[in-house]
Structure 1
Amino acid sequence: MAAESTPVTLAQLIDRLSPAPAPPPVPWLPQTWGWALLAGLILAMLAGWAWRARRRHRANAYRRRALAELAASDQRIESLAEILRRTALAAFPRERVAGLHGDAWRHFLDAHYPGEGFSGPLGAALVRGPYRGGPAPPELSVLVAEWIRRHRTDGDEDRREAAT
């Protein structure tokens, strides 16, 4: 006769099981070339944006210097005229700016500014100021600061034309 087998319980069967193998770790790198291409495009776009931002920052250094000099000036009309002239000489070719005076200087300032602030009495005061001296009206200081911040250079106009 066969040996009598003792019944095996479910708990005993479970104890005989070997543990399940651990799954392999999930890799951090993308598995398809499409994700790598997307990451490369994003990095290229970020690098291009950073390069353009740095270029724009360096191109506007003369504006920051002029605004700092304006803030530190004595706000006399001859100081404002000198700061404005030096800013224009930094932004435009010397041949276009150095010889301008009187109404030609005022027209030049208005032509490169999104407004017409220099065609009125403030522009006339600015043109006569270096010869008469005296304190500048507060509105003229504001107008000079705005021109320094917002004037358009020839490169700005070329970029606008290329974009349209």
Structure 2
Amino acid sequence: MSANLPLRDVQLPPAPSWWPPAPGYLMIGGVVLLLLVAMAFLWWQRRRRRQRWLQLFDQELASTADATTELAAIAGLLRRAARLARPGSEALYDQAWWQRIDPGDQLAEPQRQLLAEGAYRRQVPAEDIAGIRRWARQRYLELLQERRR
């Protein structure tokens, strides 16, 4: 070697670019994106199923003519939902039935009596029917969702 050659200090290579990311980061991003899409799809399907159940409930009650038939239709819908949630529970009667259908005693006793006897031989105020309908709609949905768990 010649002594005339200039000595150079050690030089570092240029810093790596931040783009494109390494393949590992792309795979992690893809998995996260796939999980988000799957969760959104499941949420959408659950929402759609819930809306369909509530629409069926409303259609069933829309075909009733008076309070007696509406209460009978509500009782029938609750029996059907209870059967789907836990087969054999449609055969329960009296206290066992009410324990299954209303475990938290959320329905008031006068409304419970109306639903149990079907409002035979008396007039029922519209606000009582509306209260029973609201409660039954929510309970119907809870029973059908219980079936899915």
Mapped to 2, the partners of 1:55 and 1:148 lie a distance apart of 17
Q: CA offsets, 1:102-142, max 9 Å, x none?
A: 4443333211xx55215x01111111126x25554322332
Q: Which of 95, 98, 106 is the equivalent residue of 1:106? A: 98
Aligned to 1:122: 111
Name the TM-score, length of structure 2 as normaliser: 0.60
Number of residues of Structure 1 aligned to a counterpart in Structure 2? 126
Would the alpha carbon gap of residues 105 and 141 (structure 1) be closer, same or farther in structure 2, given more than 3 Å must change?
Answer: farther
What residue ranges of structure 1 are gaps of 5+ in the alignment? 1-28, 160-164
Using CA pairs below 8 Å that are at least 6 residues apart, which structure has the higher relative contact order? 2
Mapped to 2, the partners of 1:125 and 1:74 lie a distance apart of 17
Structure with higher Rg: it is 1
% identical aligned pairs: 18
RMSD: 3.4
Aligned to 1:38: 29
Mapped to 2, the partners of 1:107 and 1:77 lie a distance apart of 23
Aligned to 1:148: 137
Contact 1:73–1:79 at 8 Å: present in 2 too?
yes
Q: Which of 53, 58, 63 is the equivalent residue of 1:62? A: 53
Name the TM-score, length of structure 1 as normaliser: 0.56
What residue ranges of structure 2 are gaps of 5+ in the alignment? 1-18
The one-letter amino acid paired with 1:77 is: T
Contact 2:57–2:137 at 8 Å: present in 1 too?
yes
